[in-house]
Structure 1
Amino acid sequence: MEITAHLDALRREGALLADAAARTDPAAPVPTCPEWRLRDLVLHTGRVHRWVTAIVGDRLPAPLDAEGERAVGEPQPGDAELVDWFRAGHAALLDTLTAAPADLDCWTFLPARSPLAFWTRRQAHETAVHRVDADSAAGTEGPRTDPEFAQDGVDELLSGFLTRGRSGVRSERPRTVQVRASDGPGRWLLTISREPLAVEPAEKPADLTITGPAHDLYLLLWNRLPTGAGQVTTTGDDSLLELWREAATIR
């Protein structure tokens, strides 16, 4: 996807998140993140937006240190100011990314064709996944994500986050999972072993095959869709889904 498409998604998903939060009690539980209340979700996403605004806006060559993290996170808004505080941080992030030059040079943490491409993509999906969380707190399903954007988010998760050495998706013996979008070209063959997850853009026989619309795959693999929900079908060793639920977490 192009940078402009990720910016459009970030704009749309942030507005939807804020709208869901505005009609929901800040103390409402978040079913998709059981340890959080809505205020925790909004504070987390708003702080991430401010954190990235600082990294991109100041062209930082390394992540913020503890003192910088505290400065970005303060002051913490009360419940009455929470949504306006979120909207302000979201707008500042959009302005900063939109104004950033194509040759932006700053710190990133996943491979990408450029730092600007990395941060627009990362923040679009950060915000989209947490918009789903906000909808769950509001008790609404919310709009489905566009298939191209959803496939892009699946690819970022599988080929980016979960191939890193810190990933906990491991198995004592090699096992394979085929992920297949039913409404687009997305195909990922995952090999789970003692080593970090290996991902190929291929379609081959596997121990478990997961097929469904890109939106449902996006939510399932980000652990936002319960097993058996949506239009996802599985064939093969379903115990691999339980392994995924337990190990595929992003901190």
Structure 2
Amino acid sequence: MDTSDLLATLDRDGQLLAEAAARAGLDASVPTCPEWRVRDLVTHTGAVHRWAARMVGESLTEPIGIPTAPEADGPELLAWFREGHRLLVKTLTAAEPGLQCWTFMPAPSPRAFWIRRQAHETAVHRVDAESALGDGSSSAGFSSAGFSALDAEFAADGVEELLMGFHGGERSRVRTDTSRTLRVRTTDSGAVWTVHLSDGPPRTERTAEGPVDCELAGPVSDLYLALWNRLPLDALGCTGDASLARLWRERSAIG
């Protein structure tokens, strides 16, 4: 996906997150992240934005810790979030194509990595903020129709980042004692991924070929939200061995 489109999505979703947080109130529960209040969501995402902006803006080649959020609350906390979001968008926009800095997944360039990663980080947490506008009881009451729309190309890119990026490395906990295969199929965009599971890191291919043990299928925006654990998996079609779908739900969380 073009970096200019990812930057535009990052800009939009950060603004939508702040708007939803203000409407829901900082004390509201976040159904998609049951352990959080909106305050936690805003402080986490705002701190990540500043962390990424510093990595890129200072061309840091070694990782640094995510900064601590201020003691601010109410409108001051939301203003702090908006300021950090604007700083991130400005920093990424101004970054040179030849930028060299630390990253944690393969990418065409560090600039491309940070734009993509922060676009999806912000989109997922924008969904969290919008979920707080519901009754606050359970994520089971939400569907993709209840959230601001996800562009199909963006959603497919996010599914690929999750499957081939986060779950393509040693830290992935989605593993099986015996070799199993999970297919992820979009019903609207034509994109298909096949995930080979074993006792090592998952290996994902862009293919619809070969037999599988389980297939998850649905509109690409629903797949994006469900694979990021923001929609229940029963929002998707599931054929074959449903235990593989449950395995994903139980072990795929990103720390």
Whether TM exceeds 0.5 here: the answer is yes
RMSD: 1.2
- The answer for the alignment partner of 2:97 in structure 1 is 102
Partner residue in 2 for 1:215: 221
1:111 alignment partner, one of 100, 106, 112: 106
In structure 2, stretches of 5+ residues that fail to align are 135-141
Between Structure 1 and Structure 2, how many residues are aligned? 244
**Counterpart of 2:248?**
244
Partner of 1:186: 191
The AA in structure 2 aligned to 1:103 is G
Give how far 1:2 is off.
1.1
TM-score, length-scaled by structure 1: 0.94
For residue 161 of structure 1, report the CA deviation from its aligned partner.
0.2
My pick for the range that moved more, 182-191 or 76-85, is 76-85
Task: Give the distance between the partners of 1:137 and 1:114, measured in 2 at CA.
Answer: 35
In structure 2, the partner of 1:12 is: 12
Amino acid aligned to 2:64: L
**Which consecutive segments of 4 or more residues in structure 1 shift more than 6 A?**
none
Structure 1 residues 74 and 16 mapped into 2: Cα distance closer, same or farther (>3 Å)? closer
Tell me which amino acid in the other structure corresponds to 2:244. Answer: L
Distance in 1, Cα, partners of 2:74 & 2:7: 28
Following superposition, the deviation at residue 173 of structure 1 comes to: 0.8
**For residues 146-179 of structure 1, what are the alpha-carbon distances to aligned partners after superposition, in whole Å with 9 as ceiling and x for unaligned?**
1100000000000000111011001001111110
- Is residue 149 of structure 1 aligned with residue 144 of structure 2? no
Distance 1:239 1:75 in 2: 43
Quote the Cα distance in structure 2 between the aligned partners of 1:107 and 1:118.
Answer: 10
Residue 122 (structure 1) aligned with residue 117 (structure 2): yes
Q: Percent identity over the alignment? A: 53
Please, which runs of 5 or more residues in structure 1 have no aligned partner? Answer: none
Question: Which deviations, in whole Å up to 9, do the C-alpha atoms of 1:71-103 show, x marking residues without a partner?
Answer: x33533212312111111000000000111011
Aligned pairs (5 A) from 1:216-231: 216-229=222-235
Q: Does the 8 Å contact 2:43/2:69 carry over to 1?
A: no
User: Match for residue 203 of structure 1?
Assistant: 208
Are residues 1:170 and 2:175 paired? yes
- Return the alpha-carbon distance in structure 2 between the equivalents of residues 28 and 143 of structure 1: 19
TM-score by length of 2: 0.93
Aligned to 1:134: 129
Q: Distance in 2 between matches of 1:61 and 1:19?
A: 34
Compute the displacement of 1:64 (Å): 1.0
Retained in 1: the 8 A contact 2:18–2:78? yes
Aligned pairs (5 A) from 1:54-93: 54-65=54-65, 69=66, 72-93=67-88
